[in-house]
Amino acid sequence: MILDLDISSMDNWLSYKSRPFVISGPCSAETEDQVMETAIHLSKIPQVSVYRAGIWKPRTRPGTFEGVGSKGLKWLKNVKEETGLLVGIEVANEKHVEEAIKHGVDLIWIGARTSVNPFTVQEIADALNGIDIMVLVKNPINPDIDLWTGAVERIAKAGIKKLGAIHRGFSTYEKTIYRNQPNWQLPIELRRRIPGLPIICDPSHISGKREYLFDISQKAMDLNFDGLIIESHIDPDNAWSDAAQQITPEGLKDLLRKLILRNPDPADPRVLDVLGELRQQIDLYDDHLIDLMEKRMKVAEKIGLFKKENNITILQSTRWDDIIRNAIRKGEAKGLSAELIDAIFKAIHQESINHQIKVINENSSSSSENNH
Protein backbone atom coordinates (compact mmCIF):
# COMPACT_ATOMS: atom_id res chain seq x y z
CA MET A 1 0.00 0.00 0.00
CA ILE A 2 1.46 3.32 -1.14
CA LEU A 3 -0.52 6.48 -0.36
CA ASP A 4 -0.28 9.65 -2.41
CA LEU A 5 -1.02 12.37 0.15
CA ASP A 6 -0.70 16.09 -0.52
CA ILE A 7 2.09 16.83 1.98
CA SER A 8 4.70 19.60 1.82
CA SER A 9 8.34 18.60 2.11
CA MET A 10 10.00 19.93 5.24
CA ASP A 11 12.09 22.30 3.09
CA ASN A 12 8.89 24.30 2.60
CA TRP A 13 7.99 24.53 6.29
CA LEU A 14 8.19 28.10 7.56
CA SER A 15 10.34 27.19 10.55
CA TYR A 16 12.70 24.75 8.81
CA LYS A 17 16.34 25.80 9.21
CA SER A 18 18.30 22.70 8.33
CA ARG A 19 18.38 19.03 9.20
CA PRO A 20 17.74 18.08 11.92
CA PHE A 21 14.55 20.01 12.58
CA VAL A 22 14.72 20.38 16.37
CA ILE A 23 11.79 20.77 18.74
CA SER A 24 12.74 21.17 22.40
CA GLY A 25 11.43 22.31 25.75
CA PRO A 26 10.19 20.88 29.04
CA CYS A 27 7.95 17.85 29.34
CA SER A 28 5.53 20.06 31.28
CA ALA A 29 4.99 23.78 31.63
CA GLU A 30 5.25 24.14 35.42
CA THR A 31 5.61 27.83 36.21
CA GLU A 32 5.83 30.96 34.10
CA ASP A 33 9.45 31.53 35.18
CA GLN A 34 10.48 27.95 34.39
CA VAL A 35 8.92 28.15 30.92
CA MET A 36 10.55 31.46 30.05
CA GLU A 37 13.98 30.68 31.51
CA THR A 38 14.21 27.38 29.64
CA ALA A 39 13.07 29.07 26.43
CA ILE A 40 15.68 31.83 26.67
CA HIS A 41 18.46 29.27 26.97
CA LEU A 42 17.09 27.15 24.09
CA SER A 43 16.69 30.19 21.84
CA LYS A 44 20.49 30.54 21.89
CA ILE A 45 20.89 27.12 20.23
CA PRO A 46 20.79 27.73 16.45
CA GLN A 47 19.27 24.35 15.55
CA VAL A 48 16.19 24.74 17.77
CA SER A 49 13.18 25.80 15.68
CA VAL A 50 10.23 25.12 17.97
CA TYR A 51 9.78 25.44 21.72
CA ARG A 52 7.59 22.68 23.15
CA ALA A 53 5.88 22.42 26.53
CA GLY A 54 3.20 20.09 27.86
CA ILE A 55 0.08 22.09 28.77
CA TRP A 56 -2.35 19.20 29.25
CA LYS A 57 -0.59 16.05 30.43
CA PRO A 58 -2.35 12.72 29.84
CA ARG A 59 -1.16 10.66 32.81
CA THR A 60 -1.57 6.95 33.41
CA ARG A 61 -3.14 7.44 36.85
CA PRO A 62 -5.20 10.29 38.36
CA GLY A 63 -3.81 12.34 41.19
CA THR A 64 -0.48 13.05 39.48
CA PHE A 65 0.44 16.36 37.84
CA GLU A 66 -1.75 16.68 34.75
CA GLY A 67 -0.55 20.03 33.48
CA VAL A 68 -1.30 23.66 34.22
CA GLY A 69 -3.99 23.88 31.54
CA SER A 70 -4.91 26.82 29.36
CA LYS A 71 -3.05 29.44 31.40
CA GLY A 72 0.18 27.87 30.15
CA LEU A 73 -0.76 28.90 26.61
CA LYS A 74 -0.33 32.55 27.64
CA TRP A 75 3.17 31.71 28.88
CA LEU A 76 3.99 30.20 25.48
CA LYS A 77 2.65 33.30 23.74
CA ASN A 78 5.09 35.34 25.82
CA VAL A 79 7.92 32.96 24.88
CA LYS A 80 7.14 33.48 21.21
CA GLU A 81 7.21 37.26 21.60
CA GLU A 82 10.34 37.30 23.78
CA THR A 83 12.54 34.77 21.95
CA GLY A 84 11.19 34.54 18.40
CA LEU A 85 10.89 30.75 18.73
CA LEU A 86 7.80 29.09 17.34
CA VAL A 87 5.80 27.17 19.96
CA GLY A 88 4.24 23.71 19.99
CA ILE A 89 2.03 21.62 22.26
CA GLU A 90 0.30 18.24 22.39
CA VAL A 91 -3.46 18.17 21.82
CA ALA A 92 -5.82 15.36 22.75
CA ASN A 93 -9.25 16.63 21.72
CA GLU A 94 -11.16 19.25 19.77
CA LYS A 95 -11.16 21.76 22.64
CA HIS A 96 -7.36 21.63 22.88
CA VAL A 97 -7.10 22.40 19.15
CA GLU A 98 -9.40 25.41 19.48
CA GLU A 99 -7.44 26.74 22.47
CA ALA A 100 -4.12 26.25 20.68
CA ILE A 101 -5.26 28.11 17.58
CA LYS A 102 -6.75 30.94 19.65
CA HIS A 103 -3.38 31.47 21.39
CA GLY A 104 -1.30 31.43 18.22
CA VAL A 105 0.37 28.01 18.68
CA ASP A 106 2.43 27.19 15.57
CA LEU A 107 2.75 23.41 15.86
CA ILE A 108 0.62 20.74 17.47
CA TRP A 109 1.17 17.04 17.82
CA ILE A 110 -1.26 14.22 18.50
CA GLY A 111 0.05 12.01 21.28
CA ALA A 112 0.42 8.23 21.40
CA ARG A 113 -2.59 7.78 23.69
CA THR A 114 -4.72 9.74 21.23
CA SER A 115 -3.51 8.41 17.88
CA VAL A 116 -4.68 4.96 18.97
CA ASN A 117 -8.33 6.15 18.78
CA PRO A 118 -9.63 6.86 15.24
CA PHE A 119 -12.76 8.61 16.58
CA THR A 120 -10.69 11.16 18.53
CA VAL A 121 -8.24 11.64 15.67
CA GLN A 122 -11.16 12.36 13.34
CA GLU A 123 -12.56 14.95 15.78
CA ILE A 124 -9.16 16.66 15.83
CA ALA A 125 -8.98 16.49 12.03
CA ASP A 126 -12.41 18.13 11.76
CA ALA A 127 -11.30 20.90 14.13
CA LEU A 128 -8.19 21.48 11.97
CA ASN A 129 -10.06 21.70 8.68
CA GLY A 130 -8.99 24.84 6.83
CA ILE A 131 -6.28 25.79 9.37
CA ASP A 132 -2.68 26.45 8.27
CA ILE A 133 -0.66 24.89 11.08
CA MET A 134 2.12 22.33 11.47
CA VAL A 135 0.78 18.96 12.69
CA LEU A 136 2.74 15.91 13.80
CA VAL A 137 1.22 12.50 14.59
CA LYS A 138 2.92 10.31 17.19
CA ASN A 139 2.85 6.57 16.71
CA PRO A 140 0.17 4.75 18.73
CA ILE A 141 1.30 3.14 22.00
CA ASN A 142 1.11 -0.32 20.46
CA PRO A 143 3.06 -1.25 17.31
CA ASP A 144 0.12 -0.99 14.90
CA ILE A 145 1.29 0.46 11.59
CA ASP A 146 -2.25 0.65 10.17
CA LEU A 147 -3.45 2.81 13.08
CA TRP A 148 -0.50 5.15 12.61
CA THR A 149 -1.04 5.32 8.85
CA GLY A 150 -4.75 5.94 9.31
CA ALA A 151 -4.19 8.77 11.78
CA VAL A 152 -1.84 10.53 9.33
CA GLU A 153 -4.39 10.01 6.53
CA ARG A 154 -7.19 11.58 8.55
CA ILE A 155 -5.16 14.72 9.25
CA ALA A 156 -4.03 14.95 5.61
CA LYS A 157 -7.64 14.75 4.43
CA ALA A 158 -8.41 17.78 6.61
CA GLY A 159 -6.18 19.78 4.27
CA ILE A 160 -3.10 19.95 6.50
CA LYS A 161 -0.03 20.27 4.22
CA LYS A 162 2.70 20.74 6.86
CA LEU A 163 2.21 17.25 8.20
CA GLY A 164 4.68 14.80 9.70
CA ALA A 165 5.02 11.89 12.10
CA ILE A 166 6.78 11.42 15.43
CA HIS A 167 8.41 8.11 16.28
CA ARG A 168 8.35 7.78 20.09
CA GLY A 169 8.69 4.01 20.43
CA PHE A 170 6.19 1.34 21.47
CA SER A 171 5.06 -0.12 24.77
CA THR A 172 6.09 -3.68 25.57
CA TYR A 173 5.69 -6.09 28.47
CA GLU A 174 9.31 -7.11 28.08
CA LYS A 175 11.77 -5.22 30.27
CA THR A 176 14.54 -3.54 28.27
CA ILE A 177 16.94 -0.67 28.86
CA TYR A 178 14.50 1.66 27.09
CA ARG A 179 11.20 3.06 28.28
CA ASN A 180 9.65 2.24 24.90
CA GLN A 181 10.94 -0.16 22.26
CA PRO A 182 12.22 1.68 19.15
CA ASN A 183 11.01 -0.91 16.58
CA TRP A 184 12.78 1.12 13.89
CA GLN A 185 11.22 -0.91 11.10
CA LEU A 186 7.79 0.61 11.76
CA PRO A 187 8.66 4.26 11.01
CA ILE A 188 10.63 2.98 8.00
CA GLU A 189 7.48 1.18 6.83
CA LEU A 190 5.39 4.33 7.44
CA ARG A 191 7.69 6.32 5.16
CA ARG A 192 7.48 3.58 2.51
CA ARG A 193 3.70 3.80 2.65
CA ILE A 194 3.66 7.62 2.59
CA PRO A 195 6.65 8.77 0.51
CA GLY A 196 7.97 12.20 1.47
CA LEU A 197 6.38 12.17 4.92
CA PRO A 198 8.70 14.02 7.36
CA ILE A 199 9.51 11.86 10.39
CA ILE A 200 10.73 13.25 13.70
CA CYS A 201 12.32 11.00 16.32
CA ASP A 202 11.47 11.41 20.02
CA PRO A 203 14.54 10.05 21.84
CA SER A 204 13.18 11.24 25.21
CA HIS A 205 10.20 8.88 25.22
CA ILE A 206 12.06 6.01 23.59
CA SER A 207 14.89 6.13 26.12
CA GLY A 208 13.24 7.21 29.35
CA LYS A 209 16.75 8.14 30.50
CA ARG A 210 18.93 11.01 29.42
CA GLU A 211 22.06 8.84 29.09
CA TYR A 212 20.59 7.13 26.02
CA LEU A 213 19.47 10.30 24.23
CA PHE A 214 22.56 10.72 22.05
CA ASP A 215 22.70 7.13 20.79
CA ILE A 216 19.03 7.16 19.81
CA SER A 217 19.36 10.59 18.18
CA GLN A 218 22.38 9.43 16.16
CA LYS A 219 20.53 6.29 15.06
CA ALA A 220 17.62 8.45 13.87
CA MET A 221 19.98 10.65 11.86
CA ASP A 222 21.68 7.57 10.38
CA LEU A 223 18.24 6.39 9.25
CA ASN A 224 17.67 9.78 7.58
CA PHE A 225 14.96 11.01 9.94
CA ASP A 226 14.16 14.68 9.46
CA GLY A 227 14.32 15.89 13.03
CA LEU A 228 14.33 15.39 16.77
CA ILE A 229 11.95 16.31 19.57
CA ILE A 230 13.94 16.28 22.80
CA GLU A 231 12.69 17.32 26.22
CA SER A 232 14.82 20.02 27.83
CA HIS A 233 14.36 21.60 31.25
CA ILE A 234 16.33 24.28 33.09
CA ASP A 235 16.48 21.97 36.15
CA PRO A 236 15.62 18.47 34.90
CA ASP A 237 16.31 16.60 38.15
CA ASN A 238 13.53 18.58 39.82
CA ALA A 239 11.04 18.45 36.93
CA TRP A 240 7.43 17.76 37.87
CA SER A 241 7.12 15.01 35.25
CA ASP A 242 9.53 12.63 33.46
CA ALA A 243 12.60 14.04 35.20
CA ALA A 244 14.92 11.17 34.20
CA GLN A 245 14.53 11.69 30.45
CA GLN A 246 14.98 15.47 30.32
CA ILE A 247 18.23 17.25 29.56
CA THR A 248 19.49 20.77 30.27
CA PRO A 249 19.69 23.26 27.37
CA GLU A 250 23.48 23.06 27.64
CA GLY A 251 23.27 19.27 27.44
CA LEU A 252 21.10 19.55 24.34
CA LYS A 253 23.59 21.93 22.74
CA ASP A 254 26.37 19.42 23.35
CA LEU A 255 24.29 16.53 21.99
CA LEU A 256 23.51 18.39 18.77
CA ARG A 257 27.15 19.39 18.37
CA LYS A 258 28.26 15.74 18.53
CA LEU A 259 25.73 14.45 16.01
CA ILE A 260 27.18 13.17 12.73
CA LEU A 261 24.94 14.09 9.80
CA ARG A 262 25.51 11.82 6.84
CA ASN A 263 24.57 12.50 3.22
CA PRO A 264 21.33 10.72 2.25
CA ASP A 265 21.98 11.12 -1.50
CA PRO A 266 25.67 10.75 -2.45
CA ALA A 267 26.46 12.38 -5.79
CA ASP A 268 29.90 10.82 -6.35
CA PRO A 269 29.47 8.17 -9.10
CA ARG A 270 32.24 6.04 -7.59
CA VAL A 271 30.34 5.85 -4.31
CA LEU A 272 27.16 4.92 -6.17
CA ASP A 273 28.98 2.19 -8.12
CA VAL A 274 30.30 0.58 -4.93
CA LEU A 275 26.88 0.81 -3.29
CA GLY A 276 25.30 -0.70 -6.38
CA GLU A 277 27.61 -3.71 -6.30
CA LEU A 278 27.06 -4.29 -2.58
CA ARG A 279 23.30 -3.99 -2.99
CA GLN A 280 23.40 -6.60 -5.75
CA GLN A 281 25.05 -8.94 -3.26
CA ILE A 282 22.31 -8.19 -0.74
CA ASP A 283 19.65 -8.91 -3.39
CA LEU A 284 21.32 -12.23 -4.17
CA TYR A 285 21.37 -13.27 -0.50
CA ASP A 286 17.74 -12.18 -0.13
CA ASP A 287 16.83 -14.48 -3.03
CA HIS A 288 18.70 -17.32 -1.31
CA LEU A 289 16.80 -16.65 1.92
CA ILE A 290 13.46 -16.85 0.11
CA ASP A 291 14.49 -20.13 -1.56
CA LEU A 292 15.55 -21.53 1.83
CA MET A 293 12.25 -20.44 3.39
CA GLU A 294 10.35 -22.27 0.64
CA LYS A 295 12.35 -25.47 1.30
CA ARG A 296 11.87 -25.11 5.06
CA MET A 297 8.10 -24.76 4.69
CA LYS A 298 7.92 -27.88 2.52
CA VAL A 299 9.57 -29.81 5.37
CA ALA A 300 7.13 -28.20 7.83
CA GLU A 301 4.26 -29.45 5.68
CA LYS A 302 5.69 -32.98 5.79
CA ILE A 303 5.88 -32.70 9.58
CA GLY A 304 2.26 -31.51 9.59
CA LEU A 305 1.19 -34.53 7.53
CA PHE A 306 3.06 -36.88 9.89
CA LYS A 307 1.39 -35.27 12.92
CA LYS A 308 -2.00 -35.63 11.24
CA GLU A 309 -1.45 -39.32 10.53
CA ASN A 310 -0.32 -39.93 14.12
CA ASN A 311 -2.85 -37.61 15.80
CA ILE A 312 -0.17 -35.34 17.34
CA THR A 313 -0.76 -31.68 18.30
CA ILE A 314 0.99 -29.09 16.19
CA LEU A 315 2.79 -27.27 19.00
CA GLN A 316 5.33 -28.85 21.34
CA SER A 317 6.56 -26.07 23.65
CA THR A 318 9.77 -27.83 24.69
CA ARG A 319 10.87 -28.21 21.08
CA TRP A 320 10.14 -24.52 20.40
CA ASP A 321 12.11 -23.38 23.46
CA ASP A 322 15.10 -25.44 22.30
CA ILE A 323 14.95 -23.92 18.80
CA ILE A 324 14.95 -20.33 20.09
CA ARG A 325 17.66 -20.93 22.69
CA ASN A 326 20.00 -22.64 20.21
CA ALA A 327 19.33 -20.09 17.47
CA ILE A 328 20.12 -17.14 19.76
CA ARG A 329 23.31 -18.81 20.96
CA LYS A 330 24.50 -19.51 17.41
CA GLY A 331 23.43 -16.07 16.19
CA GLU A 332 25.27 -14.21 18.94
CA ALA A 333 28.41 -16.22 18.11
CA LYS A 334 28.16 -14.79 14.59
CA GLY A 335 27.60 -11.21 15.71
CA LEU A 336 23.78 -11.23 15.37
CA SER A 337 21.66 -9.73 18.15
CA ALA A 338 19.32 -11.86 20.25
CA GLU A 339 16.55 -9.41 19.34
CA LEU A 340 17.01 -10.09 15.61
CA ILE A 341 17.18 -13.86 16.00
CA ASP A 342 14.14 -13.91 18.27
CA ALA A 343 12.06 -11.83 15.84
CA ILE A 344 13.08 -13.82 12.76
CA PHE A 345 12.53 -17.23 14.29
CA LYS A 346 9.20 -16.27 15.81
CA ALA A 347 8.02 -15.19 12.34
CA ILE A 348 9.36 -18.39 10.76
CA HIS A 349 7.74 -20.49 13.50
CA GLN A 350 4.38 -18.80 12.98
CA GLU A 351 4.57 -19.41 9.23
CA SER A 352 5.47 -23.08 9.86
CA ILE A 353 2.44 -23.41 12.16
CA ASN A 354 0.24 -21.87 9.46
CA HIS A 355 1.48 -24.41 6.91
CA GLN A 356 0.98 -27.32 9.32
CA ILE A 357 -2.55 -26.18 10.23
CA LYS A 358 -3.42 -26.07 6.54
CA VAL A 359 -2.11 -29.61 6.03
CA ILE A 360 -3.83 -31.01 9.13
CA ASN A 361 -7.18 -29.45 8.28
CA GLU A 362 -7.05 -30.34 4.59
CA ASN A 363 -10.19 -32.28 3.62
CA SER A 364 -11.38 -32.17 7.25
CA SER A 365 -14.34 -29.93 6.50
CA SER A 366 -15.49 -32.05 3.53
CA SER A 367 -15.12 -35.25 5.59
CA SER A 368 -17.17 -33.68 8.37
CA GLU A 369 -19.90 -32.70 5.92
CA ASN A 370 -19.97 -36.25 4.45
CA ASN A 371 -20.38 -37.69 7.95
CA HIS A 372 -23.52 -35.63 8.36
pLDDT in tens, the chain (372 residues): 888 898 988 887 866 677 899 999 999 999 999 999 999 999 999 999 999 999 997 766 777 788 899 999 999 999 999 999 999 999 999 999 999 999 999 999 999 999 999 999 999 999 999 999 999 999 999 999 999 999 999 999 999 999 999 999 999 877 789 999 999 999 999 999 999 999 999 999 999 999 999 999 999 999 999 999 999 999 999 999 999 999 999 999 999 999 999 887 777 778 778 888 888 999 999 999 999 999 999 999 999 999 889 988 887 777 778 888 899 999 999 999 988 998 898 899 899 999 999 998 887 654 444 544
Report the alpha-carbon distance of residue 101 to residue 131 in Å, rounded: 9
Provide Rg for the chain, Cα atoms. Answer: 25
Q: Do the beta carbons of residue 134 and residue 13 sit within 8 Å?
A: yes
What pLDDT is recorded for position 14? 66
Q: What CATH number is given for 269-371 in this structure?
A: 1.20.59.10
- Output DSSP code: residue 232: B
User: How do the domains of the chain map onto residue ranges?
Assistant: 10-258, 269-371
What pLDDT is recorded for position 372? 47
What pLDDT is recorded for position 316? 72
Report the alpha-carbon distance of residue 9 to residue 161 in Å, rounded: 9
What pLDDT is recorded for position 364? 60
Q: Specify the fold of 10-258.
A: TIM Barrel (3.20.20)
Amino acid at position 266, single letter:
P
